[in-house]
C-alpha cells in the first residue's frame, strides 16, 4: 500500500497570503489528523477529520481550517499567514478501529 502523501513538500509564502496543503491518506483510512511542528512549540495537534466531519480541534486560531472529501483526502488552509506559521505541517491517517496513526513526510511552509 502507498503511504500517506502530502503535497506540496515545500512552500514559500508571504505574510498576509493564504495557503492550502493537501493530504492523501493510506487507502482505506478514513481518519486524517493534522499537526504543526515548530522548534519552539514542538508537535501540536491541529484537527482531526473522519468521514468528512471535524471530530476534534486543537488550540489554534480560526485562520487554520480544514476539510475532508468523500474519498478521505484532506486539505488544510491557513489564511492571512503570519511569520509564526512557518512550520512543518504533518498529516496522519488511520483506520476507524485502530489507534495506529501513520504520518506523511510533511509540508515545510516558510512564511517571509
Query: In the set 19, 34, 48, 74, which binds another protein (CB under 8 A)?
Result: 48
* Residue 104 C-alpha from the chain's centroid: 10
Query: In the set 11, 13, 20, 45, which binds another protein (CB under 8 A)?
Result: 45
Which of 7, 39, 37, 3 minimizes the C-alpha distance to 22?
7
Contact at 8 Å (CB) between 15 and 112? yes
106 part of the interface to another protein, by CB under 8 A: yes
Query: In the set 8, 61, 84, 105, which binds another protein (CB under 8 A)?
Result: 105
**Concatenated DSSP letters for 15-30?**
TT--EEEEEEPPTT--
104 part of the interface to another protein, by CB under 8 A: yes
99: which residues sit within 8 A by CB, 6+ positions away?
Answer: none
* Nearest-approach distance from CB 100 to another protein, in angstroms: 6
79 part of the interface to another protein, by CB under 8 A: no
Please give the grid coordinates belonging to residue 13.
Answer: 509564502
* Nearest-approach distance from CB 48 to another protein, in angstroms: 6
8 part of the interface to another protein, by CB under 8 A: no
97 part of the interface to another protein, by CB under 8 A: no
Amino acid at each position: 500500500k502507498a503511504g500517506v502523501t502530502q503535497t506540496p513538500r515545500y512552500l514559500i509564502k508571504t505574510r498576509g497570503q493564504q495557503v492550502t496543503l493537501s493530504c492523501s491518506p493510506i487507502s482505506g483510512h478514513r481518519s486524517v489528523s493534522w499537526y504543526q511542528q515548530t522548534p519552539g512549540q514542538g508537535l501540536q495537534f491541529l484537527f482531526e477529520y473522519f468521514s468528512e466531519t471535524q471530530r476534534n480541534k486543537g488550540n489554534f486560531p480560526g485562520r487554520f481550517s480544514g476539510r475532508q472529501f468523500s474519498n478521505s483526502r484532506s486539505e488544510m488552509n491557513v489564511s492571512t499567514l503570519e511569520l509564526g506559521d512557518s512550520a512543518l505541517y504533518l498529516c496522519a491517517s488511520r483506520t476507524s478501529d485502530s489507534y495506529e496513526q501513520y504520518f506523511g513526510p510533511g509540508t515545510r511552509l516558510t512564511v517571509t
